Amino acid sequence: MLAKRIIPCMDVDKGRVVKGHKFQNIQDVADPVELAKRYNQSGADELVFYDITASNENRPLFLEVVEKVAAEIAIPFTVGGGIRSIEDIYQTLRSGADKVSINSLAVKNPDLIREAALKFGSQCIVLSIDAKQMDSGKWHTFIKGGREDTGIDAVAWAKEGERLGAGEIVVNAIDTDGDKNGYNLELTKAITSNVNIPVVASGGAGSKSHILEVLTKADADAALAASVFHYNDINIPELKTFLDQNGISVRR
């Protein structure tokens, strides 16, 4: 039976793991290599790395960190942030990433998904969607770290991403990000019921129940969270026991 996945996410800025709230008020948390080792040991099913500032200057440094992390872990590893081209994807995979996550660039250049999927395989192309609910009730896709509304319907964009060849979708609810009041079930469900590729829910985890909820009620294939794992507010082995007791298949 395919297990539901628990994925700690590290937002990395200039070689350090940081945390923010609604993408703001950035605080230093830890050394990514040390943190990654801890997650590898504690039973995390996968790790995600986002280069949150992704300026040109820090890209070589970032790939160095990617390589250092890859050397220390034996679980799948997704890297995102600042991917601009097929060459960037190639370099990131060569540095030890298993998948790359594409966000803003895919919106501006959807063909990149198609091209990348053909070249490297769908399994390593993750489409990351930052979405926010508008007054109309529709979900809009935002880019540039949640700063810019593209006006594109998030559900339609997820379907298009699948058609272009993305192998997985990360859906991040901007409204609930960092609030610790639970994932946005409505948004997650809207995506999971409209695509036939794995969907990773992101944004809002505060408790073990929130994670159970998004895996069951919204049919997410994986739950991603950052600070609740970094600060051990949610202990991963305990979380897995809790999910197992609630009838969810998890790797233990």
Partner 1 sequence: MIAIIDYGAGNIKSLQFALTSIGLDAKLTTEASVIRNSDGIILPGVGAFRDAMEALRNLNLTELLQQEAAAGKPLMGICLGMQLLFDKSYEDGEWRGLGLLQGTVDRISGEVKVPHMGWNTLTHHQESSLLNGVPDESYVYFVHSYAVRSYPQHQLVSSTTYGGLIPAIVQKDNLIGMQFHPEKSGRIGLQLLKNVGEMIA
Give me the residues that bind partner 1 (CB under 8 A), please: 1-3, 5, 40, 43, 45, 67, 70-72, 74-77, 90, 93-98, 119-124, 167-168, 196-198, 221-222, 251-252
3-state helix, strand, coil in the chain (%, to 5): 40, 25, 35
- Is 244 a catalytic site residue? no
Find the catalytic residue in 45, 51, 88, 130: 130
Considering the complex, what minimum distance in angstroms separates the CB of residue 35 from partner 1?
17
Q: How far is the CB of 93 from partner 1 (least distance, A)?
A: 5
Q: Report the SS3 class of residue 60.
A: helix
Identify which of 181, 179, 180, 183 has the alpha carbon closest to the alpha carbon of residue 170: 183
Place of tokens 């994670």: 211
| Element housing 236 (H / E) | helix 236-245
Could you give the angle at the alpha carbon of 102 between the alpha carbons of 98 and 104, nearest 5°? 165
CB of 216 to partner 1, least distance (A): 17
Q: What is the DSSP string of 50-112?
A: EESS--GGGHHHHHHHHHHHHHH--S-EEEESS--SHHHHHHHHHTT-SEEEE-HHHHH-THH
Catalytic status, residue 45: no
Residues written for the chain: 252
Which lies closer to partner 1 via its Cβ, residue 100 or residue 212? 100
| CB-based contact 225:173 (threshold 8 Å) | no
DSSP SS3 for 154: helix
> Measured from the CB of residue 193, what is the shortest distance to partner 1 in angstroms?
13
- Strand 16-21 to 24-30 pairing: antiparallel
DSSP label at residue 123: G
- The nearer residue to partner 1, 60 or 137, going by C-beta atoms, is 60
Spot the catalytic one: 11, 13, 45, 51. Answer: 11
Nearer to partner 1, 90 or 180 (CB): 90
Q: Which is nearer to partner 1, 18 or 224 (CB)?
A: 224
Cβ atoms < 10 Å from Cβ of 211 = 27
Min CB(244)–partner 1 separation in Å: 12
Which residues belong to the active site?
11, 130
